[in-house]
Amino acid sequence: MRASQEVRGEKQRTSEIHISGAEGLYTVSEMQRILREYIERALHHPKGKPDTILLTLEEVRQEPLTISTLPLSTVISDSPSEAKKISGNMLRALRISEKALKTAFAVLQKGNMRGAALISADKGMRLEHDRRRGVRVSRLGIAKPALRILSPRLARLGINTDTVKEALTLASKVASCSGVRAELCISDDPQYTTGYVASNLFGYVRIPTLKRSGRKIGGRVFFIREGSDIDRIIQYLERTPVLVDRIGPCKGIQRAEEILDSHHL
Ligand code: WAQ
Ligand code: MG
């Protein structure tokens, strides 16, 4: 599903605001219920009212690959500047260059992308073919038995929401893509201020206060190992069906240093 709104700017020029998007892997019997949920989500979104809602349903014949969720944790952070420092340090530990970090934070500050930016981890170059749209991760989902394990684990931490479950599923698919070294995400919902850094090394690390409340900025950046085959990566993220069928550990609040120190790099 993708919902957008056309706005008229200066000199009658029109541009499009991305309101909401959602995707998943479902059985035919779930289709009607999911469509209703997606339409509901598009119509009642904190970013505004869409004038266009596009729904696409495609049969997936390929058997999905199965993966585990990344280990989840949350760091302590109580200001955007602290959150930026924590996310920057974690990404530096993952060998993301200063140049790449600069490009990444500029993309997130600008916002209004439908998909994610691909940035080379070393040179900090934008790699996706369509920079306005970005790369949209699709054909991903979580199997029901896995969801039944995940939900109570998240509930114990007070974070059993669709937002967290969907972001954890997406980050786990992205981390399973060879060539992707790390992901940085900030929600584009004005009130949702928690973001994350995800990687195979540190897991899915939630970072509160990554943006100031009320701001419409946000987005996703995937840091790509230098010299990777970009078309293969895009093909995997957009087209290869991947299903979460195992759940990794879900930890509570930790200090950022604890997470960094637990790995000898
Ligand atoms: N593929 C690629 N990029 C995407 C996708 C996708 N399927 N969905 C969203 N994005 C990009 C797009 O640029 C959005 O503007 C941006 O990410 C943010 O999307 O643990 O809610 O759906 O508490 O607003 C993270 C923290 C929440 C969750 C992320 O993202 C937690 C969130 P949103
Ligand atoms: Mg959003």
Reported as a single tens digit per residue, the pLDDT across 40-49 is 999 999 999 9
| 59 within a domain of the structure (yes/no) | no
Among 41, 257, 219, 247, residue whose Cα is nearest residue 137: 219
Q: Are residues 142 and 49 in the same domain?
A: no
Reported as a single tens digit per residue, the pLDDT across 152-199 is 999 999 999 999 999 999 999 999 999 999 999 999 999 999 999 999
**CA 82, CA 200: separation in Å to the nearest integer?**
23
Tally of structural domains, the chain: 2
**CA 140, CA 222: separation in Å to the nearest integer?**
17
At 262, the pLDDT band (50, 70, 90 cuts) reads confident
Q: Are residues 83 and 41 in the same domain?
A: no
Residue nearest to atom 30 of ligand 1 (CA): 187
Residue nearest to atom 13 of ligand 1 (CA): 219
Q: What is the mean pLDDT of residues 37-56?
A: 96
Q: Return the structure tokens found at 205.
A: 């690390």
Q: Sort residue 187 into left (φ over 0), alpha (ψ -120 to 50) or beta.
A: beta
Q: What is the mean pLDDT of residues 191-212?
A: 97
Q: Is the pLDDT of residue 69 over 60?
A: yes
Residue nearest to atom 14 of ligand 1 (CA): 219
Q: Are residues 128 and 10 in the same domain?
A: no
Q: What is the mean pLDDT of residues 15-25?
A: 94
Q: Are residues 102 and 177 in the same domain?
A: yes
Given a contact cutoff of 8 angstroms between Cβ atoms, the answer to whether 221 and 183 are in contact is yes
According to the model, what pLDDT value does residue 13 have? 83
Q: Are residues 45 and 80 in the same domain?
A: no
Reported as a single tens digit per residue, the pLDDT across 87-127 is 999 999 999 999 999 999 999 999 999 999 999 999 999 99
Q: Are residues 118 and 245 in the same domain?
A: yes
CA 92 to chain centre: 19
| 60 within a domain of the structure (yes/no) | no
According to the model, what pLDDT value does residue 14 have? 87
Q: Is the pLDDT of residue 265 over 60?
A: no
Q: What is the mean pLDDT of residues 47-57?
A: 96
**CA 152, CA 163: separation in Å to the nearest integer?**
15
Q: Is the pLDDT of residue 75 over 80?
A: yes
Reported as a single tens digit per residue, the pLDDT across 164-174 is 999 999 999 99
Given a contact cutoff of 8 angstroms between Cβ atoms, the answer to whether 142 and 244 are in contact is yes
Cβ of 164 less than 6 Å from ligand 1: yes
Residue of 25, 47, 114 with the most ligand 1 atoms within 8 Å of its CB, for mutation: 114
**CA 69, CA 117: separation in Å to the nearest integer?**
22
How wide is the angle at C-alpha 218 spanned by C-alphas 247 and 148, nearest 5°? 20
Cβ of 161 less than 6 Å from ligand 1: no
Question: Could you give the angle at which helices 80-93 and 98-110 cross, rounded to 10 degrees?
Answer: 140
